[in-house]
Chains A and B, each alone.
Chain A
Amino acid sequence: MSDEYTKINVNIGGCKNCLSSLHHLLEKYADIKEYTISSEKNLISIHPVHVKRVTSLLKFVGLDMKDVDNHLSVYSKDSKTESNDDIYFLPELDDNSQITSRRSKRKRLDSHHPTMKQNDHCIIASELVAILPHEVECCRPHLVPGWCVAVYSGHHLSKINQYLQSSVPLPGELSHIKRIDSCRSYENKSTYVFLQIAKPSYTWLDANETLDSMVQLLQLNSSDHQIISTSPTPCWIPLRAPITRKHQLLYSFSNESQEKRFSSFRNSLNKPIILGWPSTLRACPELEELVNVGRSLSLSCFSELELKKHSLWLERVSTLSKQAQELKNIHPQSCAGVGGPACAVIIVDPESNIALTESTTPTTTSDISWLDHAALLAVSAVAKLKGNTGNQYSDSYLCTGFDAYFSLEPCLMCGMALLHNRIRRVFCCQKLAGDGAFTNASRLHVQEQLNHRFRVFSPP
């Protein structure tokens, strides 16, 4: 009897770290083989006998789920009753408990509005934010189950660390995990030490055995204020290294409200569940500057003078599109599709702050092409400009070093045309929900497989 797989809608929003922690949870922790994940369709297909268990785990780590099939009720009784460690890692009230509060969940994509309002244009550059890879923007902690133990702070910690390092070394992929949780404060000058990732080959029993061996060999005892608990404590740790300072804080659950909210998590055995873990951040100052664009002026990559220049171009491109909009005829040349708003593009040399070309659609020429979106018109105009010998741009390579200002975020065709032309930066007055090249799933400007990457700024 071959069962059809049950489909679970789960929104990971394009984040590769969410995808890898999802795979880890299902494959390496839960030891499930019968599943597939389609990140494009935000869909998990899984054998029905696993659905009840998987939905509990996913709900706890804060993934949005919808429309779980009715198979759940049929198979809930037939779920495999083989022993696993979920009882340690899931809280008692698992129907109401979720790690991620609603505030920190990723904002859902705006609903698609075919007729976009012109007055939604943002022409103040300081209000734009950098559009970054999904992993940078993701607000989930990417937690996976592990084991730790409560100990008192003191000199014996180095002995414990050395012992664990030799008996249960951490795999290379967890090199960001600090073995001793010395950053967060617990009661009674205590702290936690991470033992190992939880998996079928390292269960509570294995962790307990490691603990017993360690206690015996190092002659630890509770009366000398060295060790507190004599059994492993379940914890959820971040599977991936933090990318920004924001992630480092998020992963360690150091935020005050975060800590208060989750510090009292307990499983059905009334044992604490430790959430998050201190992680090593490999700092990337350039990325931190981008993260702060539109949020903290002094920390971002733009000076106030630069922002003024950008604002003037944004105002100009917005004005151009409004003028073009007054032509009022339905036209095929909008990145938002037939019936979409007029579009305008300006390509600027930021070194001289001079516009190389301004393009708007609709155009009034008779031999109109469905491909003649404003961006394609603009880059072709730059190509022709360079074709004329003698001007300062003859020898430059395509649009290398140039900025592009858009009244509306370009579509996939136009976004890729900019990539082929090696644009340097793109500024958009308005996002194109669903079909835009930069703020949706594709994010062409940060695709690792493509041979050019550039910066994009748009309203949040």
Chain B
Amino acid sequence: MDIAFELACEALRCNEVPVGCAFVYNGEVIASGRNEVNATRDATQHAEMVTIRRLEQWCRNNQKELDKILVECDLFVTVEPCIMCAAAIRFCLPAHLKSITYGARNERFGGCGSVLSVHNSPSAVAPLNCISGVEAEAAVELLKKFYAQENENAPEELRKRKRVM
């Protein structure tokens, strides 16, 4: 989780929604990433999506099969995955993660109970194993700093494009 928070802080410094995440396999971080929506102007570049692609790249580089790695992987993310990311993790990958550990709830887009329960909705696909609330206060603080930062920057950056949640 520490690496996830480091990345979230980096995202905050880069004016991104401060979310960071990391895949841990056999005690080692093999892929990590943070929100890159504003940098890429692509609203799908959430931390989880960025990191999954890096995990796939790691598997290609190490000639490992993604599904065999996934079942032994734990995902740590500072904020509850949104509906898109929860659906990607549960329904679009070839195997299930061992666990997902996240910090703060995502009241706006949360897909693990806050808005929709994508993680355990009735389906033929097994539910995700979610552990919530880990270091939630620290994650909330980062989000608050981001919104405060947004307000502070707003007058000077009126011409810049709107921030993307």
Interface residues of chain A, those whose CB is within 8 Å of chain B, are: 40-41, 332, 337-338, 367, 369-371, 373, 376, 379-380, 383-384, 386-387, 395, 397-398, 411-413, 416-417, 419-422, 434-435, 441-442, 444, 447, 449-451
Q: Are A379 and B83 in contact (CB under 8 A)?
A: no
Q: Are B92 and A447 in contact (CB under 8 A)?
A: no
Q: How far is the CA of A420 from the CA of B84 in the complex (A)?
A: 9
**CB contact list, B110-165 vs A, under 8 A:** 111, 115-118, 121-123, 161-162, 164-165
Q: How far is the CA of A380 from the CA of B41 in the complex (A)?
A: 9
Q: Which 9 A-B pairs have the closest CB atoms?
A: A416-B84, A412-B87, A383-B42, A420-B43, A413-B87, A416-B83, A413-B88, A421-B43, A417-B44
Q: Are B44 and A435 in contact (CB under 8 A)?
A: no
Q: Which residues of A contact B111 (CB under 8 A)?
A: 416
Distance of A363 from chain B, by nearest CB (Å): 14
**Which of the candidate stretches B3-11, B49-57, B72-80 sits at the interface with the other chain?**
B49-57
Q: How far is the CA of A128 from the CA of B40 in the complex (A)?
A: 35
In the complex with contacts A412-B118, A444-B83, A371-B49 CB distance below 8 A: yes
Instruction: For B92, give its contact among A371, A397, A422 (CB under 8 Å).
Output: A371
Q: Which residues of B contact A332 (CB under 8 A)?
A: 92, 94
Instruction: For A379, give its contact among B44, B87, B117, B164 (CB under 8 Å).
Output: B44
**CB contact list, B31-66 vs A, under 8 A:** 40-44, 49, 52-53, 56-57, 60, 66
Q: Are B84 and A417 in contact (CB under 8 A)?
A: yes
Q: Are B165 and A379 in contact (CB under 8 A)?
A: no
Q: How far is the CA of A422 from the CA of B60 in the complex (A)?
A: 33
In the complex with contacts A398-B164, A416-B82, A416-B83, A447-B41 CB distance below 8 A: no
B25 interfacial contact with A, CB 8 Å: no
Q: How far is the CA of A178 from the CA of B132 in the complex (A)?
A: 49
Q: How far is the CA of A442 from the CA of B117 in the complex (A)?
A: 10
Interface residues of chain B, those whose CB is within 8 Å of chain A, are: 40-44, 49, 52-53, 56-57, 60, 66, 82-85, 87-88, 91-94, 108-109, 111, 115-118, 121-123, 161-162, 164-165
Q: Are B57 and A367 in contact (CB under 8 A)?
A: yes
In the complex with contacts A40-B122, A376-B44, A398-B164, A435-B91 CB distance below 8 A: yes
Q: Are A411 and B87 in contact (CB under 8 A)?
A: yes
In the complex with contacts A397-B162, A411-B87, A412-B91, A417-B115 CB distance below 8 A: no
Q: Are A370 and B66 in contact (CB under 8 A)?
A: yes
Q: Which residues of B contact A442 (CB under 8 A)?
A: 116
Q: How far is the CA of A369 from the CA of B54 in the complex (A)?
A: 10
Q: Which residues of A contact B56 (CB under 8 A)?
A: 367, 369-370
Q: Are A412 and B84 in contact (CB under 8 A)?
A: yes
Q: Are B60 and A383 in contact (CB under 8 A)?
A: no
Q: How far is the CA of A370 from the CA of B57 in the complex (A)?
A: 11
Distance of A110 from chain B, by nearest CB (Å): 15
Distance of A439 from chain B, by nearest CB (Å): 15
Q: Are A386 and B92 in contact (CB under 8 A)?
A: no
Q: How far is the CA of A419 from the CA of B43 in the complex (A)?
A: 9
Instruction: For B41, give its contact among A383, A416, A435 (CB under 8 Å).
Output: A383
- For this complex, 11 residue pairs linking A to B, each with C-beta atoms less than 8 Å apart, are A40-B117, A41-B122, A332-B92, A367-B56, A371-B49, A371-B52, A379-B44, A398-B41, A413-B91, A421-B44, A450-B108
Instruction: For B42, give its contact among A41, A337, A380, A441 (CB under 8 Å).
Output: A380
Q: Which residues of A contact B121 (CB under 8 A)?
A: 40, 441
Distance of B70 from chain A, by nearest CB (Å): 10
Q: A412-B83, A444-B83, A451-B165 are in contact. List 7 more A-B contacts (CB 8 A).
A: A332-B92, A373-B92, A380-B42, A411-B87, A413-B88, A416-B84, A417-B43
